Structure 1
Amino acid sequence: MRIRTATDEDWPHIYPFYAAIMAEGKTYAFPEGQSLEEARPWWMEQPPGQTVVATVDDTIVGSAKMGANRPGRGAHAATASFLVDPAHQGRGIGRALGLHVVGWARDAGFRGIQFNAVVEANAPAVHLWRSLGFDLIGTVPEAFDHPEHGLVGLHVMYHQL
């Protein structure tokens, strides 16, 4: 697996699994039913942020976007979001992307990484982030409308660098 900076030409290859994950409605509070062009600014970060892709044999199997969590006085904390193509889940792609983001944030001089909205019903993600050193700071109750579990909490998670 290789992780590299995403290009504009990568977006049409990311979009199908982006759209599938948003349509599933279990992990992101992003708009559903977006066209290719409507969805682009939701995922393709502009500098100083960055979007990366994970590839296996030149096939894009996952992506992450990262940057400052807040502007100004909050810019010392990073944030990130992750997508793994459902056809390739369970192969360590999320972990590799997570490790890449932690290294990127550390190298960029961030003091920590804050995840603002990890769906509490997303047990694999919560387990992954904890295994990479993230602490559960708190949970906003009933902040996410899960299609199977109804109203569930959103975790705020933090990793000090």
Structure 2
Amino acid sequence: MEIREATSADWAQIYPFWSQIVEAGETYVYPLGLGPDEARALWMETPPGLTVVAVDGDRILGTAKMGPNRPGRGAHIATGSFMVDPELQGRGTGRALGTYLVEWARSQGYHSIQFNAVVESNAHAVYLWQSLGFKIVGTVPEAFDHQTNGLVGLHIMVRKL
């Protein structure tokens, strides 16, 4: 597996699983029904942010976006978001992308990384981030309208670099 910067040509492979994950309504707060152009504007970062893809040959396994969590006086804290093609999960792609983010944020001089909205019921993501050194610093009760579980909490998770 290789992780590299995403190109505009990669969007054709990213969007189908991006849309599938968002439409499932279990892990992301993005609005439902976004077309490729609207979704692309939300996912493909511009500097100082970065969007990457994890690839195996020509196949995109997953993607991540990263950058400053807030502008100005909050720009010393990084953030990131991750998606792995549901058909290709279980290969370590999420862990590789998470590790990439930690290394990237450190190399860019960020002080820490903050995830603003990790869905409480997304046990795989919570476990992964905790195994990579992230701590839950708070949970906003009933902040996410889960497609099948109803209102569940959103964790705020942080890792100091």
Same-fold status (TM-score > 0.5)? yes
Deviation at 1:94, TM superposition (A): 0.1
CA distance in 2, matches of 1:83, 1:141: 24
Corresponding residue of 1:67: 67
Partner AA of 1:77 in structure 2: I
CA distance in 2, matches of 1:130, 1:101: 14
Task: Report how many residues are paired.
Answer: 161
For 1:17-61, what per-residue CA distance to the aligned partner results, in whole angstroms no more than 9, with x for missing partners? Answer: 000001101000001111111111110001110000000121001
CA distance in 1, matches of 2:140, 2:38: 28
CA distance in 1, matches of 2:31, 2:151: 17
CA distance in 1, matches of 2:150, 2:91: 29
CA distance in 2, matches of 1:70, 1:11: 25
CA distance in 1, matches of 2:57, 2:84: 16
Corresponding residue of 2:53: 53
Deviation at 1:155, TM superposition (A): 0.1
For 1:74-103, what per-residue CA distance to the aligned partner results, in whole angstroms no more than 9, with x for missing partners? Answer: 000000000000000111100000000000
Corresponding residue of 2:17: 17
Corresponding residue of 1:99: 99
CA distance in 1, matches of 2:88, 2:13: 14
CA distance in 2, matches of 1:116, 1:125: 13
Q: CA RMSD in A?
A: 0.5
Corresponding residue of 2:150: 150
Note the residue ranges of structure 2 that are not aligned, 5 or more in a row: none
CA distance in 1, matches of 2:12, 2:31: 18
1:157 aligned counterpart, secondary structure: strand
Corresponding residue of 2:159: 159
Partner AA of 1:140 in structure 2: V
CA distance in 2, matches of 1:63, 1:38: 17
Deviation at 1:118, TM superposition (A): 0.1
Structure 1: which 4+ aligned runs deviate by more than 3 Å? Answer: none
1:47 aligned counterpart, secondary structure: coil
Partner AA of 1:145 in structure 2: D
Among all aligned residue pairs of Structure 1 and Structure 2, give the percentage whose two residues are the same amino acid. 63
Corresponding residue of 2:88: 88
Partner AA of 1:32 in structure 2: L
Note the residue ranges of structure 1 that are not aligned, 5 or more in a row: none
Corresponding residue of 2:35: 35
Partner AA of 1:138 in structure 2: G
